[in-house]
Amino acid sequence: MNQIGAALQAKSRMGRHQVASVRHESKLKVGVISVSAVALWVAALVLFMAGFDFLMDMGGRGPGDYNFGDLLMMRMLNILALAVFFMLVFSNTLICFSTMYRSKEVVYLLQAPITFEHFFYARFVECALFSSWSLAYLGSPLIIAYGVTTEVSPVFYVAAFVFFLPFIVIPAALGCMITMVAVWVFPRLKTSVLVALGILLIGAFFLYIASIIRGAQVTDDTLRQWLSASARAQSPFLPSTWAADGVLMAAHYEVGHPLFYFALLVTNALMALRVAGAMSSVLFYPGWSFLMGQDRQRIKKARGPLAWVDSVLSRLPNPYHPLSIKDVKLFWRDPTQWTQFVIFFGIMGVYIANLRNTSATFEKEIWRSWVASLNVGAVSLILATLTSRFVFPLISLEGRRFWILGLAPLTFGQLVWQKFWLSVSCTSVFTVGLALLSGYMLELAPIYYALTVYSVVLTNLGLSGLAVGLGTLYPTFSEDNPARIVSGMGGTLNLLLSIGYITIVVAAQVIVLQWRLIEGFENSPAFYYALSGAIMVITSASALCVYLPMRLGLRNLQAMEF
């Protein structure tokens, strides 16, 4: 057996054992997660089908091979493929860093008789699979909905699967190349150069937002502007165009063009993988070695931003002060975490920048209330992603040294509640600020403004309670990679329950506000009674999401042996 095959076989055996260990889990937990996963997939299918039906109706269903609805659908599929491509590049960049540089297995694999290039290929398979499984899970209902709505042939589904495999290899290889270059270059740069680069990136970001605000004017020529902008996503030099056009042409029983696009994808995927492998033989070990040396030097130093954070948090009483400092330092020292944090709120910044145009577009109050409710949903979903990704693993990241905390002068209750309040205080700064800013830019009525901010404040409490409580109820002390901790059964359950909780909060707000705007209430007191009921539903759901998971998690922690 060759070197790559031996590494992959070992990893495959570990994966099979992990799947087999599910039989030792609680049947109730496995059942709840399985049913929730299926329900989420079905809900996504129904939602996509409704959206595609709307686009087809708006485009005008009629005879002929194509109509305007088909044009809209094809443009949307190309835009989606391009967005997925860049998301996969970003995802693989982060996953490659944690898999190739931060995993404990790397130290042992580098001592084995394996070349750096073969080591890269073995880890590359793990990166590609780990970054693409969620795309296959959430992308399959979209593909099925598109096929059913447009009534394409069964060849469409086969082509979508065949094109998917080489398509995911290209962004995975690009992400790994970006990671290797960044790890090799950035530790060697001086702090002043890094600060200058950061300032340039932030300036470019705000210039981009300003250009969006100036350029997105509402005119009668909106359709032509949209068609012109969407045409840019169909560049013949983009792999997303090759995949989307190849699948669409195969669905109409064309042979020559789909085969050409498939060959183009395969050859570029193999070339990108070969180039990444050649780069790994030159860049990987110097970057990894230098990174390990930087970690040792960083431990000895106590200056810089972390020292400033230490002075700010020093006003907290013990034991909350040292615990909070430890969590902040662990977060700051792992670029795979804080870069995702910055990207999430960068996306929200672009979203907020476009709300000014939205307020000019939707002048009627009924549309403003819709946007206000959807705004709560958008901020809450970003918050759920953050708590699932960063807060859920906090207890598990204490690792095998958790028994040391049992000897410290603190209770498990203090430990768990410290994680909760740290999560609430950090996320509230961003999410409540976004809620205040978005409400101001939408020029919401006072009642909508107050309800929006109140809902976001409570979702900070509810989602933090779910993440910390379930992270304590289902800890994984044997794993030090936060991404792997989150991908377990407990992390999946946390994400599903978070989505359900957000649905309750947004639905309670939408029902009351929309019912008022269509004059469903006979008088003003009836509306305020209904509004009070909605506030009670939101408050009760939030309290339940804090109390029940935290209580169950703390009870489980106290019953464990370390």
Q: Between 361 and 85, where is the model more confident?
A: 85
Q: Which of 124, 169, 121 is nearest to 4 (CA)?
A: 121
Please tell me which of 63-67, 318-322, 500-504 the model is most confident about, judged by mean pLDDT: 500-504
| pLDDT higher than 90, residue 271 | yes
The rounded distance, in Å, linking the Cα atoms of 542 and 457 is: 10
Average pLDDT estimate for 73-89: 79
pLDDT value of residue 343: 62
Average pLDDT estimate for 260-269: 92
Instruction: Yes or no: say if 167 and 261 are a contact pair by the CB < 8 Å rule.
Output: no
| pLDDT higher than 90, residue 187 | no
Instruction: State the chain's mean pLDDT as an integer.
Output: 76
pLDDT digits (tens, 9 = 90+) for 522-545: 567 777 777 888 889 999 999 999
| pLDDT higher than 90, residue 559 | no
pLDDT value of residue 309: 63
pLDDT value of residue 267: 94
pLDDT digits (tens, 9 = 90+) for 101-116: 877 778 777 777 888 8
Query: What string of DSSP letters covers 336-371?
Result: HHHHHHHHHHHHHHHHHHTHHHHHHH--SHHHHHHH
pLDDT value of residue 300: 47
The conformation of residue 395, written as its DSSP 8-state character, comes to: T
pLDDT value of residue 272: 92
pLDDT value of residue 118: 86
Give the helix/strand (H/E) hosting 520: none
Query: Considering the chain, what percentage of its residues have pLDDT values greater than 70?
Result: 70
pLDDT digits (tens, 9 = 90+) for 332-382: 666 556 666 666 666 666 666 666 555 554 455 666 667 777 778 878 888
The rounded distance, in Å, linking the Cα atoms of 504 and 506 is: 6
pLDDT value of residue 546: 92
Q: Which amino acid is at 230?
A: S
State both tokens at 259: 């085969």
pLDDT value of residue 302: 46
Of 148-162, 242-256, 438-452, the range with the lowest mean pLDDT is: 438-452
pLDDT value of residue 534: 85
Average pLDDT estimate for 445-457: 84
pLDDT digits (tens, 9 = 90+) for 206-230: 555 455 444 444 444 555 555 565 5
pLDDT value of residue 486: 76
Instruction: Yes or no: say if 119 and 109 are a contact pair by the CB < 8 Å rule.
Output: yes
| pLDDT higher than 70, residue 1 | no
Query: What string of DSSP letters covers 180-246?
Result: HHHHHHGGGS-HHHHHHHHHHHHHHHHHHHHHHHHH----TTHHHHHHHHHHGGG-TT-HHHHHHHH
pLDDT digits (tens, 9 = 90+) for 461-498: 999 999 999 988 888 777 766 766 777 777 878 888 88
Instruction: State pTM to two decimals.
Output: 0.63
pLDDT value of residue 458: 92
pLDDT value of residue 211: 54
pLDDT digits (tens, 9 = 90+) for 11-49: 778 777 777 776 766 676 677 777 877 887 888 888 888
Q: Which of 109, 101, 118 is nearest to 183 (CA)?
A: 101
Instruction: Yes or no: say if 550 and 416 are a contact pair by the CB < 8 Å rule.
Output: yes
Query: What string of DSSP letters covers 232-282?
Result: GGG-TT-HHHHHHHHHHHHHTT--HHHHHHHHHHHHHHHHHHHHHHHHHHH
Average pLDDT estimate for 239-264: 85
Alpha helix segments (H runs only) across 151-190: 155-185
Average pLDDT estimate for 88-113: 80
